[in-house]
A and B are shown apart, each in its own frame.
Chain A
Amino acid sequence: MQKIKTSMSFVFEEKKYKIISIISFIFFLLLYLITLPSSYTGGKIGLISFKFLTVRMIIFAFIFALLIGILIPFIIFLFNRSNKTHTGTAAGGIFVSIITPFLCCSPLLPIVLGFIGGIIPILKGSFGLTVQAFVATHETEIYLGVIVLLLLSIYQNARSVVQCPDCEIEPQRQEQP
């Protein structure tokens, strides 16, 4: 937690990272407000999505956007200083959070599995239904998993910021080993 606080205060000292953070937050908040209701719209996205927003979706959209709004400036900061970034967990979290509402009950899985089924006949169409049913009945747990992934990514990148040799973090801010 201390590492995250230290790196946040260091990164957000620069105005440009504050702006990047705000833009990322707004962009992802809108993106999630549009995509999260697709489990109700059968994969349709657009203005119609707002009609189907629930309190649970708004809360998740806000949390995801907030975490990504912190994460992206960290990654750009490290990237600008040619330091090691941890983008794998971040990309995983973003991918899962965007794709989950489309898994049930849009035509996404039936089409993808129909295509794969042509190559691997053992994968029947009913397998897709089982996956969709699992996603539909465990959506909250999946979203909580996404939050864990994004937090982990923030922690990994915050650690890199704190340990960054070129970052000139004041000694009192440096994490004590």
Chain B
Amino acid sequence: MKKKKSLLFIIAIIFLVTISQYRTIYGQQKAPDTYFYVNSKKISLKKFEGKKIMLWLFSTWCPSCIVGFQALAKKQDELKKNKLTIIVLRNYKNGGYPGPTVIEFAKKYGKNLLKAKNWVFGEASNNLENIYNPKKYPDIYFLINSKGIIVDMNGAPAATIDNILSFSKSIKLKLKSKK
């Protein structure tokens, strides 16, 4: 009986750890248009058409978001050079838990980015949240190419920074080869 219990316990841990690695792939599809708020002003995603975008939804209490933000801040020169626009949106109502605003968050973890032209800081609308984050992840980003196609979806930018950098680089190379 005890052996069975121990076995079940080990299986439960392995199962939970395994599914924690799993993230639903959004697939390569056109990024749906919706809106978000920057300084209470409604901004449409369509406005960024033709640009390479990283659309990042995060909560300001989330640890992976803090290190993710710092990792992106470190790579800002490269991201800027590769012309990647990073739209950083605080989850709708910060995921239902109090925390600093997106500007306060940016001031604390990467002040230099507030003036960077390739960064947009805002708040997700309920509509955007329902479309892009229906499962309510505290940390999720979408890499959208200049044709408006979602080419990747992931979380924790610090752990996946290489993917983000290669996305920005590869698109640039493709554009170059077209010329």
- Which residues of A are found within 8 Å of B139, using beta-carbon distances? 42, 105
Q: Is A17 an interface residue (CB 8 A)?
A: no
Residue of B nearest to A85 (CB): B2
Q: B136–A105 contact, CB under 8 A?
A: no
Max chain A C-beta neighbours (<10 A), residue from B19, B59, B63, B139: B63
Q: Is B64 an interface residue (CB 8 A)?
A: yes
Q: Spot the interface stretch: A6-14, A22-30, A33-41, A153-161.
A: A33-41
Residue of B nearest to A112 (CB): B19
Q: A39–B61 contact, CB under 8 A?
A: no
Q: Spot the interface stretch: B9-17, B33-41, B107-115.
A: B9-17
CB distance from B127 to the nearest CB of A (A): 15
Supposing A42-B155, A107-B23 touch, asked if A137 and B61 sit within 8 A by C-beta, the answer is: yes
- Which residues of A are found within 8 Å of B137, using beta-carbon distances? 105, 107, 110
Contact with B along A136-148 (1 / 0, CB 8 A): 1101000000000
Number of A-B residue pairs having CB atoms within 8 Å of each other in the complex: 120
CA distance A41 to B68 in the complex (A): 9
Interface size on B, residues (CB 8 A): 37
Q: Is B20 an interface residue (CB 8 A)?
A: yes
Q: B62–A104 contact, CB under 8 A?
A: yes
Find A105's partner among B9, B134, B156 (CB 8 Å cutoff).
Answer: B156
Q: Is B158 an interface residue (CB 8 A)?
A: yes
Supposing A107-B19, A133-B138 touch, asked if A39 and B64 sit within 8 A by C-beta, the answer is: yes
Q: Is A89 an interface residue (CB 8 A)?
A: no
Supposing A104-B62, A133-B96 touch, asked if A114 and B159 sit within 8 A by C-beta, the answer is: no
Residue of B nearest to A99 (CB): B16
Q: Is A87 an interface residue (CB 8 A)?
A: yes
In the complex, chain A residues 89-110 whose Cβ is within 8 Å of any chain B Cβ: 91, 95, 98-99, 102, 104-108, 110
- Which residues of A are found within 8 Å of B9, using beta-carbon distances? 91, 95
Contact with A along B20-31 (1 / 0, CB 8 A): 111110000000
6 of the cross-chain contacts (CB-CB < 8 Å) are A98-B17, A105-B63, A110-B135, A129-B96, A133-B138, A134-B97
Q: B64–A99 contact, CB under 8 A?
A: no
CA distance A104 to B61 in the complex (A): 10
- Which residues of B are found within 8 Å of A48, using beta-carbon distances? 159
Supposing A99-B13, A102-B20 touch, asked if A42 and B136 sit within 8 A by C-beta, the answer is: no
